[in-house]
Copies of this chain bind each other. A is one copy, B any other.
Amino acid sequence: MKRLVAGIDVGGTNSVFGLVDEEGKIYAEGSIPTYKYDDFDVYLQVLCDGVKNLSAKIDEPYEVAGIGIGAPKGNYYNGCIEDAANLKWRGVLPCVEKMKAHFPGIPIVLTNDANAAAIGEMIYGGAKGMKNFVVITLGTGLGSGIVVNGEVLYGHDGFAGELGHIIVSVNGRECGCGRRGCLETYASATGIKRTVYKLLADHIGDSALKNISFNELTAEMITTAAIKGDPIAIEAYRHTGEQLGRTLADLIAITAPEAIFLFGGLAKAGKYILEPTEKTMEENVLFLWRGKVKLKVSKINDKNAAVLGASALAWKIIREQ
């Protein structure tokens, strides 16, 4: 019988899930609106039913061999989601333990979305065969999954890899964490919006972005404008890449990775983000690593990436059993 695992990505708006084989082929997918469920137990019930109901979409017989879950503030060590700012449930939620009641007898593992993306890159993507690499997720915020000697760097409490919250500018931009100048206030979908607005404030001259309100503006719109040659959009990517490149140079000095992969919405801008990031990274990195650390766009960076990343988490555990 075919063995599949369920990959589940818990997002603030939607939770998406799919059944995936060991090569990363997705057999069926579904989603539920996370934000509509005030009660975590009810949410889990609906989520697990959704996963089970995927059977209707698959013709051949299969077994679910494991479940991987990517969730904000997902703690690999204890299987709990711990006070995630963008989820409505407060406190420490024993996600894995409760899910075991719905899927008894199979491995169920949880981590945060950036770590799931890193394992996805290792199992299905560009980091196959690599033991030391980093995945940077450039979404609403900035996350990082750091792989050291083939294992995710979880740290003492499970929350390592908060690269988005290293302070790159003393007294810089306000961050949702209550501090100022965090990397993700510059290098993320939200960060580049703020940079566009800063550039529109500082410069004169035409830009298509002048017609779009802050709340309407998306990273995709900035990318589209950059492709059309909009100088503000191109400059915004350059600023973003510079800030990110400086931090990656420092991250290399600490972790000495073989490669760094950019993942998420901003990574879809391709050369507009990659070129300034790489240029600044190379200009700033210690001579030991000059020209040696590959910077690439994630190979699993499509719409199914979150499901793939979460499913990889399950395959990794199954392989090691």
Query: A146 near B250 (CB under 8 angstroms)?
Result: no
Query: A256 near B159 (CB under 8 angstroms)?
Result: yes
Cα A155 to Cα B255 in complex, Å, equals: 6
In the complex, whether A212 has a CB less than 8 A from a CB of chain B is no
User: Across the interface, which residues of B come within 8 angstroms of A220, CB to CB?
Assistant: none
User: Across the interface, which residues of B come within 8 angstroms of A144, CB to CB?
Assistant: 254
Q: A159-B256, A254-B162 are in contact. Are A284 and B167 (CB under 8 A)?
A: yes
Interchain nearest-CB distance for A209 vs B (Å): 28
Q: A131-B156, A132-B155, A155-B148 are in contact. Are A284 and B179 (CB under 8 A)?
A: yes
How many residues from A make CB contacts under 8 Å with B? 43
In the complex, whether A268 has a CB less than 8 A from a CB of chain B is no
Q: Taking the full assembly, how many copies of this chain does it contain?
A: 2
Select which of B158, B251, B286 is within 8 A of A254 by beta carbon: B251
Chain A interface, DSSP helix/strand/loop, else mixed: loop
Q: A162-B253, A166-B250 are in contact. Are A151 and B154 (CB under 8 A)?
A: no
Query: B132 near A166 (CB under 8 angstroms)?
Result: no
Query: B163 near A254 (CB under 8 angstroms)?
Result: yes
Interchain nearest-CB distance for A224 vs B (Å): 32
Q: A148-B153, A151-B149, A249-B167 are in contact. Are A160 and B254 (CB under 8 A)?
A: yes
Chain B residue, CB-CB nearest to A73? B288
In the complex, whether A165 has a CB less than 8 A from a CB of chain B is yes
Segment 133-171 of A: residues with Cβ below 8 Å from B: 133, 144, 146, 148-149, 151, 153-163, 165-167, 170
User: Across the interface, which residues of B come within 8 angstroms of A253, CB to CB?
Assistant: 162-163, 165-166
13 A-B pairs besides A146-B254, A159-B289, A163-B253 with CB distance below 8 A are: A132-B160, A148-B155, A149-B154, A155-B255, A155-B257, A156-B257, A157-B292, A161-B256, A162-B253, A162-B256, A170-B246, A179-B286, A251-B254
